[in-house]
Chains A and B, each alone.
Chain A
Amino acid sequence: METSEQLLEFESKIAEGAKIEPKDWMPDRYRSQLIRMMSQHAHSEIVGMLPEGNWITRAPNLRRKMTLLAKVQDEAGHGLYIYSATETLGIERSELIDQLLEGKAKYSSIFNYPTLSWADIGVIGWLVDGAAIVNQTMLAKASYGPYSRAMIRICKEENFHKKQGFEIVTTLAAGTPEQKAMVQDAVNRWWWPSLMMFGPHDAESTNSSELMQWGVKRKSNDSLRQHFVNITVPQARAVDLTIPDPELEYNEETGDWKFGEIDWNEFYQVIKGNGPCNRERIAARRSAHDNGAWVREAARAYADKQLTRQTTS
């Protein structure tokens, strides 16, 4: 039962910037909001392997193939860090994975877009990982200890992801006219979905104010999005690529890049499951899960056998 005394103590801890740890008292709503948010985050890391995995066998050379493999492997690790942190809230990983496979759980809508050319791999590293870093740097200060620690670990690793992406972008942008056109096309397709990664406008974001009040999020969707645009526009200019937004304009007073309105209809359509690849992504996860069943079964049988041997000898 929640008492006002417990709630006061909890809130004062958050106000002091102290971390909440798994065995500490917390409001049920804090727990359920964290489970929702953290599992969505973990699912995003796992589903996020799919669009990039699509190009591992077709990477243009061995260096690119090695780095892409390492990056995709990192995403698997990131998913596991966050599932592990989510389990400290008293839910089993298998239940979370079931929610994903049954199509009940959300994950970042960006991964429902297809990777049509090699340039997409560069642009994903640059824009998608770039946006994720902005978000995760904030979450590294989250009030829940295990989430914050997982984010710190992830942020340390993500910088390589962004740099390897930008290196691909730089190379293509300085390449043949065809390569330049290919990378510009990728930027055109990924720019707006990347901005959507920060979620709805603050006024429309149903969970934001609660998450900010509890110190899970420290900055609003719109301010994170603005920061991302501000750091990314000069990067695009440095490699002579155009951001597909005619309204993009520098504001001398605020120091911000003003940008056009996001197509929110597209955003909500993709979230509802009607993006280009929603069905394909879940089908791929299901098939991976089903095809791995015999491995898990064999490992369990082996462990059981070892245990019987130990106890009988």
Chain B
Amino acid sequence: MSTESESPVWEVFLQPKSGKPHEHVGSVHAVDAEQALQNARDVYTRRGEGISIWVVQANNITASSPDDAGPLFDPGDDKIYRHPSFYTVPRGVRNV
């Protein structure tokens, strides 16, 4: 039916309030960054859900693949000495 091409997808990240990190909330279609911001404002913040928006064109995001999760995160799994529970402290000594 429609021959017109769809505008690109932009992923939307919202900072709910000061001091909080930006969090992914969804996506919008927009022809450029300015329109992506406006659309994100209209779609994702109708009730004061955020104080700052990031938009990034979806094809600019590089993501790890779930299939690689093993080898990718393995190196962190066998280093228990990175956790405080690995170490022993003499009895009675506090606040170490």
A297 to B7, CA, bound (A): 10
**Is B63 on the interface with A (CB-CB < 8 A)?**
yes
**Which one of B2, B31, B42, B46 lies within 8 Å of A303 (CB-CB)?**
B31
For A160, the closest partner residue in chain B by CB is: B47
Q: Name the A residues within 8 Å of B35 (CB-CB).
A: 299, 303
Q: Assess A93 versus B31: contact at CB under 8 Å? Given A74-B46, A297-B4.
A: no
Main secondary structure of the interface of A (DSSP, over half): helix
For A299, the closest partner residue in chain B by CB is: B31
Binary contact track B7-31/A, C-beta < 8 Å → 1, others 0: 1010000000000000001111101
**Is A250 on the interface with B (CB-CB < 8 A)?**
no
**Is B59 on the interface with A (CB-CB < 8 A)?**
no
Q: Name the A residues within 8 Å of B46 (CB-CB).
A: 70, 73-74, 77, 157
**Which one of B2, B28, B67 lies within 8 Å of A98 (CB-CB)?**
B2
Count how many chain B residues have C-beta atoms less than 8 Å from C-beta atoms of the other chain.
24
**Which one of A25, A77, A85, A307 lies within 8 Å of B43 (CB-CB)?**
A77
**Which one of B9, B43, B67 lies within 8 Å of A87 (CB-CB)?**
B9
**Is A101 on the interface with B (CB-CB < 8 A)?**
yes
**Is A23 on the interface with B (CB-CB < 8 A)?**
yes
Q: Assess A93 versus B4: contact at CB under 8 Å? Given A23-B66, A157-B47.
A: no
A24 to B42, CA, bound (A): 30
For B63, the closest partner residue in chain A by CB is: A23
A74 to B63, CA, bound (A): 31
A73 to B43, CA, bound (A): 9
**Is A81 on the interface with B (CB-CB < 8 A)?**
yes
**Is B77 on the interface with A (CB-CB < 8 A)?**
no
**Residues on A facing B (Cβ under 8 Å):** 21, 23-25, 70, 73-74, 77, 80-81, 84-85, 87, 92-94, 97-98, 101-102, 146, 149-150, 153, 157, 289, 293, 296-297, 299-300, 302-303, 306-307
Q: Which 8 A-B pairs have the closest CB atoms?
A: A303-B31, A94-B6, A303-B32, A84-B27, A84-B26, A98-B1, A299-B31, A24-B66
**Residues on B facing A (Cβ under 8 Å):** 1-2, 4-7, 9, 25-29, 31-32, 35, 42-44, 46-47, 63, 65-67
Identify 18 new A-B residue pairs, CB closer than 8 A, beyond the known A21-B66, A84-B28, A85-B26: A23-B65, A25-B67, A77-B42, A77-B46, A84-B26, A87-B9, A92-B6, A98-B1, A98-B2, A149-B26, A150-B26, A157-B47, A289-B2, A296-B4, A299-B35, A300-B7, A302-B32, A303-B35
